[in-house]
Amino acid sequence: MKTVGAHLSYFLRDTSVRRNVRSLMKVVAFVAAVVVVFAITFHFVMLHEGEEHSWVTGFYWTLTVMSTLGFGDITFESDLGRLFSILVLVSGILLLLIVLPFAFIRFFYAPWLESQVQMRAPRRVPPGLAGHVVICAYDSITPGLIRRLEGEGVPYVVLEEDPTTAAELYLDGVSVVAGGVDSRATYEALALDRARLVLANREDTVNTNIILTVREVAPDEPVVAIASAQESVDVLELSGATHVLPLKQWLGEQLASRVNALHARSHPIGHYEDLLVAELPVHRTPLANRTVRETRLREVSGVSIVGVWERGHLHPARPETPLTDASVLAVIGTEAQFEALDDLLVIYSVNPNPVVVIGGGRVGAAAVRSLRRRGVPVNLVEREPELCARLAPECGRVVAGDAADYDRLCEAGILEAPSVLLTTNDDAMNIYLASYCRKLNPDLRIVSRITYDRNLESIHRAGADFVLSYATLGTRAVLSVLKGRELVVLGEDVDLFSVPVPRSLRGKTLAQTEIGARTGLSVIALHHGDEAATDLSADTVLAPGAELLMLGGEAQRAEFAEVFGDA
């Protein structure tokens, strides 16, 4: 509990507060001067009426009239006296009942309340806190990252420069410390010598300052910096960042890896130790209109189907699960097995026409370049002439104009394209374009970015097949660094994770556990020692000491922990 003295000391240190207090004192002095003038005038008017009173009586009468108390024990008999009384009364209403209270609230009380709110936010971490992650801004990534850190049992602290914002976050239950991002004292108060990681997630120029300041306080502290511009990566690394995450470039590349184009093939999205995780679109392949069992992928190539995507929703890959032309298989296996699978699929042509990319910003530009590196032809729709000129050498055709214009979309080839990639940073526009493109080309695969999680269901309803947000990618990227693993992004609210086999499941077969039926999770591998078995069956026994590699969301993971308990 902070004392009144501490509040007052903090309050008066602010230069704006001192300036406000001086303004308040000027108002008080003016009101006091008016009271003195009226008290003196009172004596002259009373002498005019033949009465004489003390100076105390003059101030007493002036204040009772100005404050509208009006006791009536002292009154004027002449018209002059009554006119003077009216003047004093009106002046009192304006000065004592309006101007002075407003000035007091504006220049003292409101700043005092604000300072009390600001003082609620801590200025240092709790004593003994260790192994925490320091997050240098509360941005779009932070809420999701906080949820994941809390789920993993990792403490965190958000650094916020604005004391008022810090206090609001503190009242909302966020672990926050108020302080300047360029102050050495701030990072000393954050106990960097005991911290696990520092995340510099502000503007590139500010991140450089953060890294340099952190290096002064804790030279060996791991620092992860988020780079908005690709050009900033080298600068941040030279400043001392341990890891630099160019998220907008990665977002474009992740989206580009989800499009259908040219020949049928798997799309690798990451590794888990020695296993490769990939997605396989069923579109225009013999796998469509079959069940998972009827595909016989494990028999012919060795890869295992671990999940089935249907318009943004991941379903468990049960043997009887039907596959449609819009299905995308989540598969796992070794690189050699995927090479064998691609050799089988290469004869099936998805669509030789260019992929349409809408939006040529940093995300769109990264997607265009990623597709071109894979030899996929690209047409771009962009409103800004400067971006059109910059990306023209990378594209087969650049259409300048509004993507909502039917003629512009047709000129870009939307009616024949195998896929469209929506990269604008406006969720409402992406939802509109997803719906529009789906109506123009029902066979189109629509891949889109979003900014806010709340729009995920809306854009899937509009027709998007795959959606990924900047916030989700950022959260997964930071956690991958924290855990020392390769980044694997399967989609919104779907993650790949491992847990030790709980005591309640040891010695049971997969069929007996009913993990999928009870939690919705998909068990994709069983890790024991240095080996990971992906050819699981209903009779696979869960041995003590093994780890389950599973696919699912945060809610399903929490359900698993609640149903089956700890290891």
**What pLDDT, in 10s, does the model give residues 339-363?**
888 888 878 877 889 999 999 999 9
Per-residue model confidence (pLDDT) at position 464: 93
| Residue 29 φ/ψ, nearest 5 degrees | -65, -40
Question: Does pLDDT of 384 surpass 80?
Answer: yes
Q: Which two tokens stand for residue 265?
A: 């093939």
pLDDT average, residue stretch 513-531: 83
Spell out the SS3 assignment of 495-520: EEEEEECCHHHCCCEHHHHCHHHHHC
Question: Does pLDDT of 510 surpass 60?
Answer: yes
Q: Cα torsion for 31, 35, 40, 46, to the nearest 10°?
A: 140
Convert the pLDDT of each residue in 36-53 to its tens digit.
999 999 999 999 888 989
How remote is the C-alpha of 229 from its chain's centroid? 18
What is the rounded distance in angstroms from the CA atom of residue 181 to the CA atom of residue 39? 56
pLDDT average, residue stretch 525-529: 81
Could you give the C-alpha distances from 73 to 61, 64, 65, 507, in angstroms and in order?
9, 10, 11, 98
Would you mind telling me the total number of residues written for the chain in this entry?
567
Q: What is the mean pLDDT of the chain?
A: 89
Could you give the C-alpha distances from 70 to 50, 73, 547, 559, in angstroms and in order?
22, 8, 85, 72
Q: Which two tokens stand for residue 228?
A: 């908005």
Domains 133-245 and 355-471 share a fold: yes
Query: For 494-564, which CATH superfamily applies?
Result: Regulator of K+ conductance, C-terminal domain (3.30.70.1450)
Per-residue model confidence (pLDDT) at position 1: 43
Domain-wise residue ranges, the chain: 4-120, 133-245, 265-347, 355-471, 494-564
Per-residue model confidence (pLDDT) at position 82: 92
CATH fold for the domain made of 355-471: Rossmann fold (3.40.50)
- Model confidence at 150, pLDDT cuts 50, 70, 90, reads very high
Q: What percent of the chain has pLDDT over 90?
A: 54
Question: Does pLDDT of 5 surpass 90?
Answer: no
* Region label for 128, one of left (φ > 0), alpha (ψ between -120 and 50) or beta (otherwise): left
> How many other C-beta atoms lie within 10 A of the C-beta of residue 313?
12
CB of 326 closer than 8 Å to CB of 311? yes
- The larger pLDDT score, comparing residue 211 to residue 497, is at 211
- Given this structure, which CATH class describes domain 265-347? alpha beta
Per-residue model confidence (pLDDT) at position 491: 81
pTM exceeding 0.85: no
Q: Is 428 helix (H, G, I), strand (E, B) or coil?
A: helix
CB of 429 closer than 8 Å to CB of 413? no
> Which of 1.10.560.10, 1.10.287.70, 1.10.10.10, 1.20.1050.10 is the CATH number of 4-120?
1.10.287.70
Residue ranges in 362-455 assigned as alpha helix (H): 362-373, 385-391, 406-412, 427-440
Convert the pLDDT of each residue in 61-120 to its tens digit.
999 999 988 888 898 989 999 999 999 999 999 998 899 999 888 888 777 767 766 677
Per-residue model confidence (pLDDT) at position 104: 87
- The larger pLDDT score, comparing residue 116 to residue 201, is at 201
Q: Which two tokens stand for residue 423?
A: 């990269």
Convert the pLDDT of each residue in 439-451 to its tens digit.
999 989 999 999 8
CATH fold for the domain made of 133-245: Rossmann fold (3.40.50)
- Model confidence at 366, pLDDT cuts 50, 70, 90, reads very high
54 contact partners, CB below 8 Å, separation of at least 6: none
Q: Which two tokens stand for residue 126?
A: 């709790």
What is the rounded distance in angstroms from the CA atom of residue 138 to the CA atom of residue 122? 16
Name residue 441's amino acid: N
Question: Does pLDDT of 232 surpass 60?
Answer: yes
CB of 214 closer than 8 Å to CB of 192? yes
- Model confidence at 145, pLDDT cuts 50, 70, 90, reads very high
Convert the pLDDT of each residue in 407-440 to its tens digit.
999 999 999 999 999 999 999 999 999 999 999 9
Q: Cα torsion for 318, 324, 328, 329, to the nearest 10°?
A: 30
**Which residues does residue 134 pair with via DSSP β-bridges, in sequence order?**
157, 198
Per-residue model confidence (pLDDT) at position 530: 72
Per-residue model confidence (pLDDT) at position 7: 54
Question: Does pLDDT of 556 surpass 90?
Answer: no
Question: Does pLDDT of 16 surpass 80?
Answer: no
Q: Which two tokens stand for residue 53?
A: 């009173």
Q: Which two tokens stand for residue 444?
A: 């189109």
